[in-house]
A and B are shown apart, each in its own frame.
Chain A
């Protein structure tokens, strides 16, 4: 379970949110510029909140009052970024292995093969990210985040950089990943149709505040 209760001032914009995410997929849903990506960055440990608390499975990741701020590499939270952010100097296979190298775990060919098959990226393993299409790149990014065995998976608009056809092509993989991996996920998006297919809970954000929390029926309510 993830509990987030943070304040952050970003220039003129002030973010002030609190929500809880349990098992399954929680969507952070709202128009662009409502601070969704900033929240993800704070949970990942890449952006420091001004104050508040972030707690994951009873481990305090951030506590402004107590001065706790666990470094991102110690959080074991997988992140898929909008632009994939694959390492250009490493092959797809080495990108997928990167998280395992950094945690010093032994190779696990069974899990590796399973994830590769799940995302259908076996034919890409020897290529470099520069030679992949946008959709292929995001599938590798999913695999890379999954293979680090995260406690929580953060997906920051993973389909936003793709056109409609590519999105339709990737969504089934995302659903398979959700049903297969059983890792709790936070899914950031401003696309209601996409969220409806992936998420089971919705946190609706508006201008840096939580406007509503509930099931996917929230997606149909108009913004004020």
Chain B
């Protein structure tokens, strides 16, 4: 049943790489933004909140287009990054990772934020009386207690990144071997006569990966809960 061509395998591995990189790179930012939104009050907080959630409500094609006119090679930010740091996003797999990371970001932030808001802040007070300054307090109390939310957020982001289609194809197109993910490959196959069988194989792979991610995250979340509450 799994009759994958080398090009299909490339798409599968590329999808995994893009989703993993997008999730890992987004995670520190996700934790920082979630902490800010959960704990701090500052001017323009609702604006930050709205901007973070924007990719969730905008049509993905719109997000992709906005990325194109911001991070494209001739666009201001894109040209700056390419000239000064040699970082190029347009029509590269890194651009796909950027698009996926941004599309997944709101889901990640939501999960982590809820988890931070659920922490009993009295525990942080207790840690402070025991000599923990803000940095150590965050590292030894807040962060470990947020772990279930971080796992949930990372898993949601990974799943979202794996399924991303609209923003990615708009921003970095559909280049086999460089930006063609599973979703894009399935789409391409359904557009050619007789491609259905190959498309089905890729669909099976996508289902397997998603299920595996779901099971793994459940397992990690349960382990984290046991660690937190004593098993």
Contacts and interface: CB of A to CB of B under 8 A. Distances in A.
Interface of A: 44-46, 71-73, 75-79, 81, 83, 85, 87-89, 98-99, 101-103, 127-131, 144-145, 148
B66 interface: no
B141 interface: yes
Contacts of A144: 130
28 contacts: A44-B129, A45-B128, A45-B129, A46-B125, A71-B133, A72-B129, A73-B129, A73-B137, A75-B129, A76-B131, A85-B123, A85-B125, A88-B229, A89-B228, A98-B127, A98-B130, A98-B132, A98-B140, A99-B130, A102-B127, A102-B130, A102-B131, A127-B230, A128-B229, A128-B230, A129-B230, A144-B130, A145-B129
Given A127-B230, A128-B230, A130-B229, A89 B130 contact: no
A134 B63 CA distance: 53
Interface string B130-155: 11110011001100110000000000
Contact of B126 (A45, A81, A103, A131): A81
Contacts of A127: 230
Contact of A78 (B125, B129, B227): B129
Interface residues of B, number: 22
Which of the listed residues B127, B130, B228, B230 has the most CB atoms from chain A within 10 Å of its own CB?
A: B130
Contact of A99 (B131, B227, B231): B131
Interface in B214-231: 227-231
B153 to A, nearest CB: 18
B230 A130 contact: yes
Interface of B: 122-123, 125-133, 136-137, 140-141, 144-145, 227-231
B134 to A, nearest CB: 8
Contacts of A89: 144-145, 227-228
Contacts, number: 72
Given A46-B125, A85-B126, A103 B227 contact: no
B131 A103 contact: yes
A127 B125 CA distance: 23
Nearest to B143: A89
Nearest to A147: B130
Which of the listed residues B129, B133, B137, B144 has the most CB atoms from chain A within 10 Å of its own CB?
A: B129
A82 B31 CA distance: 31
A87 B228 CA distance: 9
A73 B133 CA distance: 6
Given A46-B129, A129-B230, 11 more contacts: A73-B131, A78-B130, A83-B122, A85-B122, A85-B123, A88-B145, A88-B230, A89-B227, A102-B127, A102-B136, A128-B230
